[in-house]
Amino acid sequence: MSELLSVKDLVVDFRTRAGNARVLNHISLDLQEGEILGIVGESGCGKSMTALSVMGLIPSPPGNITSGSISLEGLELTSLSSRKMRDIRGNVISMIFQEPMTSLNPVFRIGDQIAESVLLHEKVSKKQAWARAVEMLEKVGIPEPAIRAKAYPHELSGGMRQRVMIGLALACKPRVLIADEPTTALDVTVQAQIFDLLRDLQRDTGTAIILITHDMGAVAELADRVAVMYAGHIIESGSTRDILDNPQHPYTKGLIACVPHLEDTPTDERPYLEEIEGVVPPLTELGSGCAFAPRCQYAMDHCRIEVPVIQPITDRHKVACFKVTEGVSA
């Protein structure tokens, strides 16, 4: 396994009327070939921004990569010309979006849309591109792909459209697939199907996947490794086992406690679902100290003064929390 994508010390700022919002604050991530990395966190914590930075699709203005590097197999993406970046998008890195209902162009046949992606990146005839589209539809489990390729997006259900999106994203055999909350808009049963599909495709093609989600269940099901984000920081990362069985950061613990469990017996008294008090603070109003401190029940004085830096506590498990790291050293 070698390093495919590596994000180092990435800082992204949004200049808004309310002030400067640091949406990504010294983010470091790495993705190995053929692995599934989960990025979890609440809404507005910077998950999608991480994805968009890697894609080079940050809306600019107001967004801007202030510092840091994103390198794909040694190629620095942040300084790449928009033309070179276009060649990479869809070809080496592609992305699937949250809303399958709106991420397909409503006026073109789905086959044409997949074929278009192929035509943009490969020197093939229209006929070959169409054949590839049909093949992709078959791969993502669309019945009667030759007929369905001629369908328009409004003729398909949400689950089918997400399958089409996955087919579209994988049509050029990308090395990295970014799945930005691919199942948030779908039924639970369909969610399971999409996860199975992603896992199978990942196994077949060896594409590395960055799975962005707020659903710990999805992470448990799919991801090899997990990074937990809060207010633009990565506050904990490690293998899925480490994070789920042995969460260190109070926020990660809270996230895991939030997942509802089905009771063993119906007679069990129904426990209250745990929640994390408060909301993610506005990014323009971050003071000094740990961003999670105002919501953290263990917050110490130290936490309100200085921002904790992410540090390894075991081989691959890293945490950014004074309580954990100081507790270890003391």
Site membership for another protein, residue 116 (CB under 8 A): yes
User: Residue 71 — φ and ψ, nearest 5°?
Assistant: -125, 135
Site membership for another protein, residue 106 (CB under 8 A): yes
Q: Least distance in Å: CB of 30 to another protein?
A: 22
Site membership for another protein, residue 63 (CB under 8 A): no
Buried b (16+ CB within 10 A) or exposed e, 289-311: bbbbbebbeebeeebeeebbebe
Give the CA distances from residue 125 to residues 113, 170, 323, in Å, rounded to whole numbers and listed in that order.
Answer: 15, 19, 60
Site membership for another protein, residue 121 (CB under 8 A): yes
Per-residue x/- mask for another protein, residues 236 to 255, rule CB under 8 A?
--------------------
Token readout for 118 is 């192929």
Site membership for another protein, residue 12 (CB under 8 A): no
Site membership for another protein, residue 104 (CB under 8 A): yes
- DSSP structural state of residue 10: E
**N- to C-terminal Cα separation, the chain:** 36
Site membership for another protein, residue 97 (CB under 8 A): yes
- Residue from 165, 194, 211, 228 that binds another protein (CB under 8 A)? 165
- Determine the Cα–Cα distance for residues 110 and 156; give it in Å rounded to an integer: 10
Site membership for another protein, residue 208 (CB under 8 A): no
Token readout for 308 is 């904790």
Point out which residues pair with 312 in neighbouring strands.
318
- Residue from 1, 2, 17, 61 that binds another protein (CB under 8 A)? 61
Site membership for another protein, residue 31 (CB under 8 A): no
Site membership for another protein, residue 143 (CB under 8 A): no
Q: Least distance in Å: CB of 241 to another protein?
A: 32
Helices (H), the chain: 47-55, 82-88, 110-121, 126-139, 145-148, 158-170, 188-205, 216-222, 240-245, 250-258, 301-305, 322-329
- Residue from 79, 102, 157, 314 that binds another protein (CB under 8 A)? 102
Q: Least distance in Å: CB of 84 to another protein?
A: 11
Q: Listing from the earlier edge strand, what are the strands of the sheet with 225-230?
A: 93-96, 176-180, 208-213, 36-40, 225-230, 233-239, 318-319, 311-312
- Determine the Cα–Cα distance for residues 214 and 231; give it in Å rounded to an integer: 14
- Residue from 50, 53, 103, 213 that binds another protein (CB under 8 A)? 103
Q: Least distance in Å: CB of 57 to another protein?
A: 6
Q: Report the residue number, 109 or 249, with the smaller CB distance to another protein.
A: 109
Q: Least distance in Å: CB of 95 to another protein?
A: 4
Contacts of 11 (CB under 8 A, 6+ apart): 22, 24, 25, 26, 27, 65, 66, 67, 68
Site stretch for another protein (CB under 8 A), options 19-27, 38-46, 85-93, 278-286: 85-93
- Determine the Cα–Cα distance for residues 48 and 226; give it in Å rounded to an integer: 15
Q: Least distance in Å: CB of 83 to another protein?
A: 9
Interacting residues with another protein (CB under 8 A) = 55, 57, 61, 86-91, 94-95, 97-99, 102-109, 116-117, 120-121, 144, 147, 150-152, 154-155, 165, 168-169, 171-172
